[in-house]
Each structure stands twice: as C-alpha cells, then as structure tokens.
C-alpha cells in the first residue's frame, strides 16, 4: 500500500483498465482530447436487496485527483502496450496531464444514496476524465458497499450493542482490509481490530488500558479463589485446565485494568468460566475489575445467557456486585441472521465481533456502480440501449432531497442544472422513475444534494473527518422512514425526474433534436 505525505492510501493513475488508455488514444486521434465533458458515477440498484446505500470513498477520490500525475515510467509502459505507430505527441500529452482542469460535485461522505442519483459528477477535458473512470469506480464502489453493509448490520444490532470489525485476516488483500476497517466504522461499527486503520484514519480500537501489574503473588490468590468458585459451581478443583488458568494469570499481570478471558479454549462451563472467575475475583481484591469475556464457538446466545446468570449468582454469593455486569463479547462467523438472534431482547451479549460478513459482503460482493458520459461540449448525451435499465439520464444535472414537515425524507429529485431550484412549499409536477404518470409533490423543506468539492483541481472546503462523516451517516439514517430501512422487502425510496429532464429523455429516446 503506497501512502502520501499525510499517511493516506494513494491510488496510482495506472490502476486502471487498458481500455481507458485506448479510449484516450481514440479521443486524441479524433482531435477531441480537450473537449469539455461531464461524467456521472452512480448505481442502478441498491445493494443487498435493500432500499438505500451510504455514499463513501469521496475523501479517497479527492486525494487521488489532487495527486494524479503520470510518471515517465507510466508513460513508457503505455507506449509499450499501445500500437507502435502511436503519435509521440499523445504520450507528451499524457505526461502533462494533471487534474487542474477537473471539477467534482458529489454527495457528501456518509450521505444516503439512491439509484440514479449521482455519487460523483466529474467534469473536465474529455480524455482526462475518461482516464479517471476505473480508479474512481474502484475507490467509491467498495467503500460504499462496505459502509452500506455495516449500516445494515447496525440496524439489525440496534443502537446499544457494540460492534467490532475484525475482518482483516479474511479480507480480499491488504487494501481491501484497510478500506473495510475505515468504512465499516463510517457505516456504524464502534471499533476495529485493524491497527493501521487506527493509525492512519483514527478508527477506534479496543486497546487495553496501561497499568503496572500487581506485585503480589497473584497465582496463590487465584488458587484460593478457584477452590471457592469450584465448590460453589459443583466442580472438582482439578477440572479447570491449568494451562488456560496460567495464561489468564499472565494476561492479568500484564493488563490488570483490561483483563478479559476467551472462555471456550477447552470447556466453557468446566474450565474457561471457573478459571476466569478465579482470576477476576483475585484481581478484584486488588482493586481491579475484569473488562469482559469472549465466546468464539457454540450456541453464543445460550452460552451468554448462562454465563450472565452465573455472574449474577457468583457476584451475590461473594458480594462482588460489579461481576454481574462484566461485558460478554461473542464472535464466530456471525452473519445477518446470527446477528439478529444475538440482538433479541433477552440476549446478554454486549459486544459482537464480525469479520467475514462485513468485509467480504457475501450477500452482494459488488456495488455495481457505473461511470457514464452525460455531456460533451455542453450538449447532453444519453446511452440508448435495448435494455431500459441501462439507459442513462442525459445532461448536467442538479439533485435535491424533498423533506416533510417533520424532517423525514420524501423523495429525491433530479433536474437539469439549468433549471431553477425547487422551493419549499411550492407544488411541483415530477416523474417518479419507472412511473407512467407524473405526480404532484409539495415539500416542506428542500435540500440540495450535490456539493462542489473540487473546482479546477482545487479543494473548495476542508475535508470532513471520518468521525464527522460517521455522525452524518447516522443522522441521515435516523431521518429515513423505517419502511425504507427494512432489510427484507423494503419500500422503494422514490427518485423522480423534473418535467424538463423527463422531456429531454423522451426526446432523445425517440431520436429527436437536443
């Protein structure tokens, strides 16, 4: 992973498809390299069968654009794979390229996004903005997919369970793992096991509290407590595994303020639990409190309920009230269905570690974003195809979100950029996507969606922090109607076209004049 001066991941210009270079050469040969053009990056269907997505990856896109420059080695490689009779002037043009002529409008990081609404609008010289297609798709698609997946998992878990992302060892390579750790946090997870994501992007981690260990003979105290615990639990004192207990003691001496135990290395009921209790109670005598236990196999819900019950009774028996509230963490290939079970009302689970199911997005491994030309030389362009789902919306556009009087989201409107913006309290006739007839809406509030982020290569405003984008995402989700947040068979969120945009679509579809 290559990093820039601020420690952020850098995507190099040649992280692209050869197709983009051949397209660029075609534009050069046709004398169209410097024509003004605009592309839109969007998706056609919400992922995971849901009714929303979270827009993510914008910060990475802007960092990429600001650093975009083909090096001599890059140009030399392209020269080796393109036709040998290519005009040398084309390669000199590539050497001079940067994004000083590129302008980007985008949904802010963490925005709710819906089909057809641009995540990015990229305008600039035709050849250059064509070259940007693949890396921008790469940066946005996976980040948005993971953030949306994390948001779904958060909705299932509810607001109180702590979600820990721990998928680095299961991710599709180091860049995939790094990206997943960042954007699962944006989507609603509390923390990550990934130290690089913590270092470079400030993703919280469950780091142990520092403390000098106790100088007393902890082992002797643990053995005394073990006898008492085993007697109370009806176990023989030799049943709990001594090696496991020795490991617990060593960890407790190293991190007395952060002692926690993995209970299922041998037997939860007959080894892990009594060993943990013995060490936790011995530490308690010294003024330290254990911070948790973890389960990584078996029926996690049932075991957590049984362990919580034992914590309560043991705490009462030995007059240690804090024991009953020791957090219980679980992991073990937890997916949406398993998470729903762990999140039910009678669950005693506090922390849920999820790896594979958040970083690999098994329900849908690709977001399906596309990057399409909508304008050249100020003239709208539209992709016409026999598959209506693949037709594009022509022209440079503006996007607005209509809100009800309570601040809830009603619909998103796409219109041509040249049209006057809609006003709150004004009745408008709009065409919902896929509808055969228009409808009339009267929003109580209107919010513009696309913000100018990069103008002629220069940032227009400071980039929000990851925590700010995460807060924005959670606030946006809270304003979305619960019917649109249902994970199974949700109500489709409406996206509509203005009358003028709809008329343009109809005209171009029929082969009429622009």
Average pLDDT estimate for 338-363: 96
Q: What is the DSSP letter of 490?
A: P
pLDDT per position as a tens digit, 131-153:
999 999 999 999 999 999 999 99
pLDDT at 472 over 60: yes
CA angle at 263 for the pair 259 and 268, rounded to the nearest 5° = 145
Regarding whether 307 and 408 lie in a shared domain, the answer is no
CA 268 to chain CA mean position, Å: 34
Please check whether residue 471 lies inside any domain of the structure. Answer: yes
Asked whether 339 and 352 are in contact (CB, 8 A), the reply is: yes
pLDDT at 4 over 60: no
Regarding whether 392 and 313 lie in a shared domain, the answer is no
Regarding whether 401 and 302 lie in a shared domain, the answer is no
Please check whether residue 172 lies inside any domain of the structure. Answer: no
Please check whether residue 404 lies inside any domain of the structure. Answer: yes
pLDDT at 510 over 90: no
Alpha helices per DSSP H over 87-132: 88-96, 126-131
Split into its structural domains, the chain has a count of 2
Please check whether residue 184 lies inside any domain of the structure. Answer: no
3-state secondary structure 196-219: HHHHHHCCCCCCCCCCCCCCCCHH
Regarding whether 317 and 253 lie in a shared domain, the answer is yes
Regarding whether 498 and 371 lie in a shared domain, the answer is yes
Q: What percent of the chain has pLDDT over 70?
A: 96
pLDDT at 7 over 60: no
Regarding whether 373 and 474 lie in a shared domain, the answer is yes
pLDDT per position as a tens digit, 256-307:
999 999 999 999 999 999 999 999 999 999 999 999 999 999 999 999 999 9
Regarding whether 444 and 313 lie in a shared domain, the answer is no
CA 426 to chain CA mean position, Å: 36
Q: For residue 114, what are the CA distances in angstroms to 148, 155, 320, 410, 494? A: 12, 18, 52, 12, 8
CA angle at 3 for the pair 164 and 122, rounded to the nearest 5° = 90
As a whole number of angstroms, the distance between CA 35 and CA 286 comes to 74
Please check whether residue 499 lies inside any domain of the structure. Answer: yes
Regarding whether 405 and 310 lie in a shared domain, the answer is no
Average pLDDT estimate for 29-48: 97
Please check whether residue 170 lies inside any domain of the structure. Answer: no
| CATH code assigned at 120 | 3.20.140.10
**Residues in Cβ contact with 153 at an 8 Å cutoff, skipping those fewer than 6 apart:** 163, 187, 188, 189, 336, 339, 354, 357, 358
Regarding whether 455 and 501 lie in a shared domain, the answer is yes
Please check whether residue 30 lies inside any domain of the structure. Answer: yes
Regarding whether 224 and 131 lie in a shared domain, the answer is no
Range of the domain at 26: 18-149+364-510
Q: Report the mean per-residue pLDDT for the chain.
A: 94
pLDDT computed for residue 513 by the predictor: 54
The count of other CB atoms within 10 Å of the CB of residue 321 is 10
pLDDT per position as a tens digit, 455-470:
999 999 999 999 999 9
Please check whether residue 350 lies inside any domain of the structure. Answer: no
pLDDT at 1 over 60: no
């Amino acid at each position: 992973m290559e990093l820039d001066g601020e420690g952020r991941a850098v995507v190099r210009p040649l992280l692209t498809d050869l197709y983009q270079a051949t397209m660029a050469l075609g534009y050069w040969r046709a004398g169209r390299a410097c024509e003004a053009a605009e592309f839109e990056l969007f998706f056609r269907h919400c992922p995971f069968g849901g009714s929303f997505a979270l827009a993510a990856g914008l910060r990475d896109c802007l960092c990429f654009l600001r650093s975009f420059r083909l090096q001599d080695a890059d140009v030399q490689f392209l020269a080796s794979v393109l036709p040998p009779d290519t005009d040398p002037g084309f390669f000199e043009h590539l050497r001079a390229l940067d994004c000083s002529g590129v302008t980007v409008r985008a949904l802010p990081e963490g925005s709710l996004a819906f089909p057809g609404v641009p995540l990015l609008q990229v305008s600039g010289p035709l050849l250059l903005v064509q070259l940007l297609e693949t890396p921008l798709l790469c940066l946005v698609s996976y980040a948005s997919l993971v953030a949306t997946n994390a948001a779904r998992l958060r909705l299932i878990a509810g607001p109180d369970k702590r979600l820990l992302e721990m998928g680095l060892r299961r991710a599709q390579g180091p860049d995939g793992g790094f990206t997943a750790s960042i954007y699962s946090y944006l989507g609603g997870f509390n923390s990550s096991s990934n130290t690089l994501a913590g270092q470079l992007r400030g993703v919280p981690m469950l780091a142990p509290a520092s403390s000098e260990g106790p100088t007393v003979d902890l082992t002797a105290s643990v053995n005394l407590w073990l006898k008492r615990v085993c007697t109370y639990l009806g176990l023989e004192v030799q049943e709990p595994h001594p090696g496991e207990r020795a490991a617990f003691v060593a960890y407790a001496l190293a991190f007395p303020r952060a002692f926690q135990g993995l209970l299922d290395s041998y037997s939860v009921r007959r080894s892990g639990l009594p060993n943990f209790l013995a060490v936790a109670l011995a530490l308690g005598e010294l003024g330290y409190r254990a911070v948790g236990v973890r389960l990584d196999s078996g029926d996690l819900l049932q075991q957590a309920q049984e362990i919580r019950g034992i914590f309560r009774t043991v705490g009462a028996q030995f007059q240690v009230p804090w024991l009953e509230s020791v957090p219980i963490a679980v992991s073990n290939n937890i997916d949406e269905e398993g998470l729903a079970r762990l999140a039910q009302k009678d669950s005693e689970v506090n922390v849920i570690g999820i790896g594979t199911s958040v970083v690999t997005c098994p329900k849908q491994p690709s977001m399906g974003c596309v990057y399409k030309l909508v304008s050249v030389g100020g003239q709208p362009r539209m992709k016409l195809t026999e598959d209506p789902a693949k037709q594009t919306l022509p022209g440079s556009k503006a996007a607005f979100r209509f809100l009800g009087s309570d601040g809830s989201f009603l619909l998103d409107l796409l219109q041509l950029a040249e049209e006057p913006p809609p006003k709150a309290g004004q009745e408008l006739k709009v065409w919902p996507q896929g509808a055969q007839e228009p409808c009339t809406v009267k929003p109580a509030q209107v919010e513009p969606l696309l913000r100018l982020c990069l103008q002629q290569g220069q940032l227009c405003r400071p980039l929000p922090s990851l925590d700010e984008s995460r807060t924005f995402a959670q606030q946006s989700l809270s304003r979305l109607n619960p019917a649109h947040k249902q994970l199974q068979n949700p109500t489709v969120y409406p996206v509509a076209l203005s009358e003028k945009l709809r008329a343009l679509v109809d005209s171009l579809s029929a082969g009429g004049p622009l």
